Structure formats: C-alpha cells, structure tokens
Amino acid sequence: MDQVNYRLPKRKDGQKTFDHILETAKKLFSKNGYQATSINEIINKAGIATGTFYLYFDDKFALYSYLLAKYRKSIRKAISEGIHDAHTRYEKERLGLRSFLKFAWQDPLAYRIIWESMFADKELFKEYYQTFSHDYVRQLNLAVGHGEVRDDVDLETLSYMLMGISNFVGLQVLFRDTLTDLDLDRITDNVMKVLKTGMFNEK
Amino acid sequence: MDQVNYRLPKRKDGQKTFDHILETAKKLFSKNGYQATSINEIINKAGIATGTFYLYFDDKFALYSYLLAKYRKSIRKAISEGIHDAHTRYEKERLGLRSFLKFAWQDPLAYRIIWESMFADKELFKEYYQTFSHDYVRQLNLAVGHGEVRDDVDLETLSYMLMGISNFVGLQVLFRDTLTDLDLDRITDNVMKVLKTGMFNEK
C-alpha cells in the first residue's frame, strides 16, 4: 500500500470510464471472488480497450486495493455522518452501529468485498482491521478518561468485540428479506442494552 | 446439501487417499480461494488419477461442502469438549470461547475456509450461521428460563453478537505472532467481564 499503483483520471470522460471499471470489477469480485476474476473479464465486461485498464491500474491487485480503500472511506463516512450529533461515547456507539447496519443493508457488495479481502491479500485484511482497531482504542481510551467506559477491560479486546458485534449483527441484517427503519431501531436498541451494562459505567 | 454428492471410502487405503484429497484441497482453498482452485489442480497436487477424485466426489462443490461440514463438526466438537465440565451458561460461554479461540489459533486454515464460504456459495454461508444462531438461541432461551441470562434482549440478536465476538476476537488472536495459555486466559477473561454485566443477571 506504500507505492501508488493507480492513476486517477484527469478529465470528466476519463472519470466516467474509471468509475465504470470500478463498478464492473466490484460486481465481478462480489459474484465470483477476487481470485477467480481475471483482468480480461473485467475488460470484456466493461467493454473497454485493454490499454484503457492499464491507463488507470498497474494490475488487478491495484484495482482491488483501490476499491477496498474506497469502501473503507465510505463506511467511515457513513458512520461519521451518522454520529455527527452525538456527544457521548454511548450515543456514538449507538448511532455508529445504526449507520453501519444501514450501510451493509444498502451496499451488501461492499460488505462481501471486505470479507473476501482475507483471500485477496492476507496482509491487506490484517491491516484493515488492525487500523480500525487502533483508531477504536484511541476513541475508547478517551471515553475511559471521561469515566464513560469502564477502566478494567483491555481496550484492544474490547475493540475487536465491538467490530465483531457490528459485523455479525450486520450479517443478521443481510440475511433478512426486508428491513424497515423500525427494524433497524429495534436491532440497534437490543445491542445497546447489552453494551450499556457491559462496557459503560452506570450514570 | 440435501442430496449426497460424495461417497465415503469403504477400505483403509481408500480412507488414506480420501483424507489426502481433503488435506490437499484444504491447502489450495485457503491459499488461493475456492473459486480460483480447479479440480485439476487438486488432482495434480494430490498426485491422484482423475477417476479417483470422482470416485469420492461429484464435483468441486461436493468436496468443498464436505470440508465445510467437517470443520463445522470439529469446531463444535472442540467447543463441546471444552465446556464438558461447565454447569452454568456463564461457564459454558467462557470455556466455549476459550476453546474456539484455541481452535482458531491451531487451525487457521479452517477459519479461512469458513469465512470464504460466503463466496463459494452464499446459501451455504447463510445456512451455516443461521443454524449456529438457531442452536444458540435455544441454549440462551434455557438460560433465560433459569434466570441466568437477562430476559429483555432479543436472543437472535444476542446470538449474532456472541458469534461476532468469538469470530473477531479470533482474528485478534490470529493476528498475533505468539499465543501462550496465559494470553488465552487473559483475552477470554476480558471478554467475559463485558459479557458478565452485559448479558448475565447479577447473582
């Protein structure tokens, strides 16, 4: 991830092609998996010239890691917009979880792409969750300092617990046939009941 | 999963070949992924005749689902042996989690195979976690009946929370370079502190 292996388009029509390549690759990756998808398939399905692909990406891995970075950003954006009005860690967890579940419901392909990254590149997968955990620990640490979160639990373990809860309750949501805003509230509230007594200090 | 698409060997030398095919496939699947691994690769790498493969399995999917069912059984076996002496739900959760983390550490390939099943077959993945959730809910329901677990949380959501915690704390463990029994105890205890106040009733 240290070297730049992609080139962003400079003009509007280039942007359109670039986005179209990403969208095509996303569908193929999530349908057949990263390993089983070839550059040729992406090129054929997108209906572009071979040279056009290499104009933007060094190789399949470059495209994939760009996509993963993009999802990481959009998940974070969805969460940070969701928690915009929250002032306590508790409210941040609640609104953050709700935004994450909504994102998973609205973009199940993104969900699959991230899960599959374990197979695309083990280090990329590890780096993704370790960075997430690292940032989480920093936030939790502040909340411990404010007396909001209990101070007798290892925060790294707590961060993995919280990521696991979001991701698997995300599966519960994805396995459903329908999801209303009310369902989303109900599921979020159930999780928060357990977290309230589990990780937060009594007020 | 309704039709039998594999045939178990009847003789000792057949069993040896059968196990060898499984072991080879397991390595290839976890290295390159299910989709990118072909039957021919498995046959070549295992050094067997093509006919031998089809003696036991209808196709790649048959082999894969056999492997997945096998892991499901061995994970369950590891957990049920681990919780053998537990009499309370709390003790069952604690020992079950510890066994699961130990299993993940000792057999990371199994871990990868199950995660990848989302791509091999979406329904298989769904069925795997839904069955797990269903059994979990049954157990949790008994514990609610005994007054051990709080009665104001939806048990389906709680089951996904618990599966998520195990799986992601499993990642935390897998990302480590070393793991002693003491580390395992410490990580398990941290999780249980949160669960104790989060989902269990005070004694």
> Is the CB of residue A167 less than 8 Å away from at least one CB of chain B?
yes
Between CA A186 and CA A192 the distance in angstroms is 10
- The nearest alpha carbon in chain A to B124 belongs to A175
**A-B C-beta contacts closer than 8 Å:** 130
Burial B165-202 (b: 16+ CB within 10 A, else e): bbbbbbbbbbeeeebeeeebeebbebbbbbbbbbbbee
Q: Classify residue B185: in a domain, yes or no.
A: yes
Report the pLDDT value the prediction gives residue B87, as an integer from 0 to 100: 92
Q: Is B3 inside a domain boundary?
A: no
For A135, phi and psi rounded to 5 degrees? -65, -40
- Write down which residue in B63, B81, B105 finishes a domain: B63
- Cβ B25 vs Cβ B37: under 8 Å: yes
Task: Tell me, yes or no, whether B38 and B85 share the same domain.
Answer: no
Question: B86 and B53, same structural domain?
Answer: no
Instruction: Say if B190 falls within a structural domain.
Output: yes
Has residue A47 been placed in a domain? yes
Contact call for A161 and B165, based on CB within 8 A: yes
Three-class SS state of A200: strand
* Domains of chain A: total: 2
Question: ipTM value of the model?
Answer: 0.86
Distance CA A161, CA A195 (A): 10
Give the model's pLDDT for residue B1.
47
Cβ A118–B116 below 8 Å, yes or no? yes
Q: Which of A126, A80, A134 is nearest to A103 (CA)?
A: A80
* B30, B47: one domain: yes
Residue A42 in tokens: 């992406």
Asked if B112's CB is within 8 angstroms of A116's CB, the reply is no
- pLDDT (0 to 100) of residue A71: 87
3-state SS, residue B149: strand
Q: What is the pLDDT of residue B109?
A: 81
Residues of A in contact with B191 (CB under 8 A): 157, 161
pLDDT under 50 in chain B at which residues?
1
Q: For the full predicted model, state whether its pTM sits above 0.95.
A: no
Q: Is the CA virtual torsion A126, A96, A144, B152 positive or negative?
A: negative
Question: Is residue B2 a part of any domain in this protein?
Answer: no
Per-residue pLDDT of chain A (203 residues; tens, 9 = 90+): 456 899 999 999 999 999 999 999 999 988 877 878 899 999 999 999 999 999 999 999 899 889 988 988 888 899 999 999 999 999 999 999 999 999 999 988 887 777 777 666 778 788 888 998 999 999 999 999 999 999 999 999 999 999 999 999 999 999 999 999 999 999 999 999 999 999 999 76
Q: 3-class SS at B9?
A: coil
Domain encompassing residue B133:
67-199
Question: Is A121 found in the same domain as A25?
Answer: no
Q: What's the CATH number where B109 sits?
A: 1.10.357.10
Domain with A29 in it: what CATH number?
1.10.10.60
